[in-house]
Amino acid sequence: MKVLITGVAGAIGRLVARRLLEKHEVVGLDTAVWPGRPRELTLHRVDLRKKGTDDIFRRERPDTVLHLGSVRHTFDETLRHDVNVVGTKKLLDLCAAHEVRRVIVLSSSYVYGALPENPFYMDEDTPLSVSRHYPDIRDLAELDGLATTFLWRYPEIATSILRPVSALGRRAHSTMAGYLRLDFSPVVTGFDPMLQFIDEDDLARAIALCVEGNQRGIFNIVGPGALSLRSGIRLAGGTALSLPDPLCRALVGTLFSLGLAPAPSDAVDFLKYPCTIDGRAFREATGFTAEHDLVQSLRSVRG
Amino acid sequence: MAANTKASSGPAGAPLVVKEDEEQETPAAPGTGAGGADNRGSERGRPSGRRGRTIALPRRAPASPMAPPRPSRTAALRPEETAGLPERLIGLAFDAFGPSYLRDLAREIDEAIARAPLELNALGYDPWGFQRDAARRCFLATALLYRWWFRVEARGLEHLPAGRLLLIGNHAGQIALDAAMIATAGLLEGNPPRLIRGMGEYWLPRLPWIGTLMVRSGSVVGTPKNCVDLLEHGEAVVAFPEGVRGMNKSWSERYQLQQFGRGFMRLALRTRTPIIPVATVGSEEQAPSLGSFEPLAKLLGMPAFPLVLTPIPLPVKYHIEFGEPMWFEGDPDDEDRVIEEKTEEVKERIAEMLASGLERRAGIFF
């Protein structure tokens, strides 16, 4: 099997690529370099949105495409939207045109949004409400929506959309990992939502498992359970800085504009309300369960 | 009364596993779940129109929504990882200098939590955000109210069978102390102790501290998904189908059951859960109110703004009666009219229990 991975030089991309290389041929696509990459891996340094991508599809003829190449940080709004929406659309069109048999798109559990009335275990049918209070990352919901449309439009292509919880570990660059690495993590007075995490190794294993399977559909991916925000900060070795809601938003907003916080003030909703998901469908479809312990993963955040 | 309704007490402790469930549960091997979310729509399939037919549990087997428990390989937690410094200092001070009555009560609560059928992780959290240490503090406060303020007399706790349960009660008293007292009764007097989980109003999580306390002590936001997940996991859930209509009733409406919502009955039918009628006498007099001041309620985004005559709830005496389980069968997607016949049956049972409870008591404060 020949697997094309976009965003292969990212933390999760590297872990997945190493796993897949054991059994498959892997072609990587990224704008970034990956020094010290495995020799067997072919890396094309190309921007998804540029012309070169078409030709890679023509030459490499991948059977499977794994789309990890989305921008998660919020520092450059235009780039984010362009890569996540325009780039994904182009990639999916190429998959349809070049007879790719299997497409896996990495989305995120953030797409459901953190709302006070969220049930504890949101399943895949839950509406994607993130842009209601956090419009800056609406492109995540749009990326997910594009992939869902693709899933329905091409029944002959086995498409999977994965919505994992925040990844943790020494290498992971998730927003939550960045937040937990702060010396003082701002929290909102009187609020302490439950959070779910998955270890980066477990997430890579889940994605590799999905690549090798043929499950069509949308899947939440969860790790080994949940704990509260403040417990998480304590285990990661940080200190919770409790501030009333308006002050917390002002502080996060200011830090973000200075490049010192990983997300803007709208993200404070994720520090107040739960965005916890039901991972049953993926577990039943693939038999995946997390191997890493929640406590160990949190302790490993600072490396 | 619907002919297909069977209201009888089930065998205590009988597992409520139905044959169809078992059959659905086994083929969860890799590959069979192909499709996951996308072909659920067809799986769900509307049950054929005939009323009263017993149908299989819709959607999927009642697998637990969280990952199956695995042996923990965690190194022991350091004290600073389990709680913040102020919290730990208060805990140490309480253990050393707290009044012996309170320490005994705290120990009693600890033992009850340890005996209750709960699934706690290394940090003491259960799959719905209940946390052992935080819950202990919450229940210490409610246990004091239970023993000294409302002097609760609970009867019929032997009617709580093991496994999934839906407790349905009358709701009153402006704040949900009735739910707190029912939960405290379940924990302190249940044998074995049961954690009875409340289904909170949607606006509660917006309130600082209140929303967190609610979750840490075992309650959840009252969404249907939460209720179904809890019941499928074998939990005991308490719900008040009168909702805000009941909680904020005025003095003149006390002990008059307001209109019952139908959602609870549909969920009970869908998950095949027995209903335990619960009648609380006392709560309806704890906070006399003239009614709700709607403009202010709207302004504050609250479901109601009761014009209460007393600053704190009166020390009325609570009598809580847990009735015999009622078992219902039928199509959870049936017409409102059919479901209403069943909810009326529960409402009537609670009304009867309330009437006999009111007859038995000597007075509001005794």
Q: Could you read off the pLDDT of B137-194 as tens digits, one per residue? A: 999 999 999 999 999 999 999 989 999 999 999 998 888 899 999 999 999 999 999 9
Residues recorded for chain B: 366
The sheet carrying B220-221 orders its strands as: B153-155, B319-322, B275-281, B165-169, B236-239, B196-200, B220-221
With an 8 Å Cβ cutoff, is A127 touching chain B?
A: no
Which pLDDT does position A77 carry in this prediction? 80
Does the structure show a pLDDT above 70 at B57? no
Which pLDDT does position B20 carry in this prediction? 37
Which pLDDT does position B49 carry in this prediction? 39
Surface of B (224-253) touching A: CB under 8 A? 225-226, 229
Alpha carbon dihedral B94, A237, B71, B25, in 10-degree steps, equals 100
A216/B121 Cβ within 8 A:
no
Give me the total of CB pairs closer than 8 Å, taking one residue from chain A and one from chain B.
Answer: 156
Measured between CB atoms, which of A223, A227, A234 is closest to B125? Answer: A227
Which pLDDT does position B51 carry in this prediction? 40
Minimum CA–CA partner of B68 in chain A? A289
ipTM tops 0.85: yes
Which pLDDT does position B239 carry in this prediction? 95
Q: At what angle do helices B336-360 and B263-271 cross, to 10 degrees?
A: 100
Tens digit of each residue's pLDDT (9 = 90 or more) over B91-116: 899 989 989 999 999 999 999 999 99
Q: Are B75 and B289 in contact (CB under 8 A)?
A: no
Which pLDDT does position B305 carry in this prediction? 87
Minimum CA–CA partner of A245 in chain B? B208
Distance (Å, whole) CA B258 – CA B59: 33
Distance (Å, whole) CA A22 – CA A214: 19
With an 8 Å Cβ cutoff, is B93 touching chain A?
A: no
Geometric angle at alpha carbon B222, from B43 and B187, rounded to 5°: 115
Of the residues B25, B39, B64, B66, the best mutation for testing chain A's interface (the one with the most A CB atoms within 10 Å of its CB) is B66
A290/B67 Cβ within 8 A:
yes
Give per-10-residue mean pLDDT for chain A (303 aa).
Answer: 94 95 94 91 90 91 94 80 93 95 96 95 94 88 96 96 93 85 93 95 96 93 94 93 96 90 90 96 94 90 82
Residue A100 CB partners (closer than 8 Å, separation 6+): A62, A63, A64, A65, A94, A157
Distance of residue B48 Cα from the nearest chain A Cα, in angstroms:
23
Does the structure show a pLDDT above 80 at B2? no
pLDDT band at B70 (very low <50, low <70, confident <90, very high): low
In chain B, pLDDT over 90 holds for what percent of residues? 59
Which pLDDT does position B71 carry in this prediction? 47
A117/B205 Cβ within 8 A:
yes
What is the average pLDDT score of chain B?
Answer: 82
With an 8 Å Cβ cutoff, is B58 touching chain A?
A: no
A289/B34 Cβ within 8 A:
no
Does the structure show a pLDDT above 50 at B22? no
pLDDT band at B55 (very low <50, low <70, confident <90, very high): very low
Which pLDDT does position B97 carry in this prediction? 92
With an 8 Å Cβ cutoff, is A269 touching chain B?
A: no
B129/A194 Cβ within 8 A:
yes
Q: pTM, whole model, 2 decimals?
A: 0.85
B127/A225 Cβ within 8 A:
yes
Which pLDDT does position A129 carry in this prediction? 92
Tens digit of each residue's pLDDT (9 = 90 or more) over A177-214: 889 998 999 999 999 999 999 999 999 999 999 999 98
Distance of residue A87 Cα from the nearest chain B Cα, in angstroms:
24
Which DSSP category does A291 fall into? -
pLDDT band at B25 (very low <50, low <70, confident <90, very high): very low
Which pLDDT does position B66 carry in this prediction? 58
Which pLDDT does position B1 carry in this prediction? 39
Distance of residue A276 Cα from the nearest chain B Cα, in angstroms:
10
Three-class SS of chain B: CCCCCECCCCCCCCCCCCHHHHHHHCCCCCCCCCCHHHHHHHHHCCCCCCCCCCCCCCCCCCCCCCCCCCCCCCCCCCHHHHCCHHHHHHHHHHHHHCCHHHHHHHHHHHHHHHHCCCCCCCCCECCCCCEHHHHHHHHHHHHHHHHHHCCCEEECHHHCCCCCEEEEECCCCCCCHHHHHHHHHHHHHCCCCCCEEEEECCCHHHCCCHHHHHHHCCCEECCHHHHHHHHHCCCEEEECCCHHHHHCCCHHHCCCCCCCCCHHHHHHHHHCCCEEEEEEECHHHCCCEEEECHHHHHHHCCCCCEEECCCCCCCCCCEEEECCCEECCCCCCCCHHHHHHHHHHHHHHHHHHHHHHHHHCCCCCC
Which pLDDT does position B79 carry in this prediction? 83
Three-class SS of A216-234: CEEEEECCCCEEEHHHHHH
Alpha carbon dihedral B290, B292, B294, B295, in 10-degree steps, equals 60
Which pLDDT does position B36 carry in this prediction? 35
Measured between CB atoms, which of B73, B123, B205 is closest to A227? Answer: B123
pLDDT band at B19 (very low <50, low <70, confident <90, very high): very low
Q: Quick one: average pLDDT of B67-74?
A: 52
With an 8 Å Cβ cutoff, is A119 touching chain B?
A: yes
* Residues of chain A found within 8 Å of residue B36, distances taken between Cβ atoms: 124, 215-219, 281-282, 284-285
A278/B36 Cβ within 8 A:
no
A235/B70 Cβ within 8 A:
no
Phi, psi of A32 (to 5 degrees): -90, 165
A2-299 CATH fold: Rossmann fold (3.40.50)
Distance of residue B343 Cα from the nearest chain A Cα, in angstroms:
25
B122/A120 Cβ within 8 A:
no
